[in-house]
Amino acid sequence: MTNIIKVNQLTKIFGNTKALDHCDLEVKKGEIFGYLGPSGAGKTTTIKLLTGQLHSDGGEITVLGKNPFSPEIRHQIGIMSDMSGLYEKMTVYENLDIFADIYGITDKKRKIEKALASVELLDAGKKKVEKLSRGMKQRLVFARTIIHSPKLLFLDEPTANLDPATADEIRALIRQLNDNGTTVFLTTHNMEEADELCHRIALLNKGKIVECGSPEELKLKYSRKKVVITSTDGTKEIPLDKSDIIRELEGTADLLMIHSEEPSLRDVFLTLTKEAYAS
């Protein structure tokens, strides 16, 4: 599978602080890649480096096979960080018209209507932005981000501070875009969201990538490998071993429940964070 992003030993320093410390990562074509970490871990800094908004202090970056500062890259990526940049006194359609001009889109009307339809805002084209709900504004930002049909999307905390229903709408849009072939680089501190959406994730802590893999792989890797057996005699925790389980079940009275104790991504991240701070 083709690498859309390749980063080798990426380093960024602000004053006496290493925001990113020799980070390596690869993002493959067609995947949703999650970049997880607490506030201040270096997630937004990474996006700014990958999109040519900042220069690095070390390492190599390749985006779509080119240097992120290459002019042709700008028309192949979309960046969504927050709702800033929306013109509240203008209509939904007028907002997209401005960005269509910025991207040099010729068939503006078709592209604008296509973008609005994809986020279910076609009927709201004549509404002023100030009259939209927060969720509708977030969808408008999505439309603005994809109006030029980018190959790669950078989404920086796209569901932060949204109510659960609106957050679900945004996650559905991310899946839809990905199903249509768009590669997504998603930063979030929401472990449940990453588990639900991402094909692979990198866990970032204090400027270092401390683990990388699919959510399932990481949960299996950091599993406690225990089984909890509940019967009329009570609850007992035993090792996740076939012979031990069989032996225990043979001596159990009325079995009520048996389940393995699998960690969540949050559990995995907390484990790795504690290890990082202890080292």
What residue ranges do the domains of the chain occupy?
A: 3-214, 220-278
Task: Give the pTM.
Answer: 0.83
Say which DSSP state 262 is in. P
Name the CA dihedral angle for 62, 65, 68, 71, rounded to a multiple of 10 degrees: 170
At residue 278, the pLDDT reads 41
Residue ranges in the chain whose pLDDT is less than 70: 1, 82-84, 224-225, 227, 237-242, 244-253, 255-256, 258-262, 274-279
d(CA 153, CA 156) in angstroms, rounded, equals 10
Query: How remote is the C-alpha of 54 from its chain's centroid?
Result: 20
69-91: burial string, b at 16+ Cβ within 10 Å, e else = eeeebbebbbbbbeeeebeeeeb
Neighbours of 249 (CB within 10 A): 13
Give the integer Cα–Cα distance in Å for 165 and 243. Answer: 46
Q: Is residue 180 classed exposed, middle or buried when 0-12, 13-18 and 19+ CB atoms within 10 A define those classes?
A: exposed
**Domain 3-214: which CATH number of 3.40.50.300, 3.30.930.10, 3.40.50.280, 3.30.1360.170:** 3.40.50.300
Q: Note the pLDDT of residue 190.
A: 86
Percent of the chain past pLDDT 90, that is, above it, reads 54
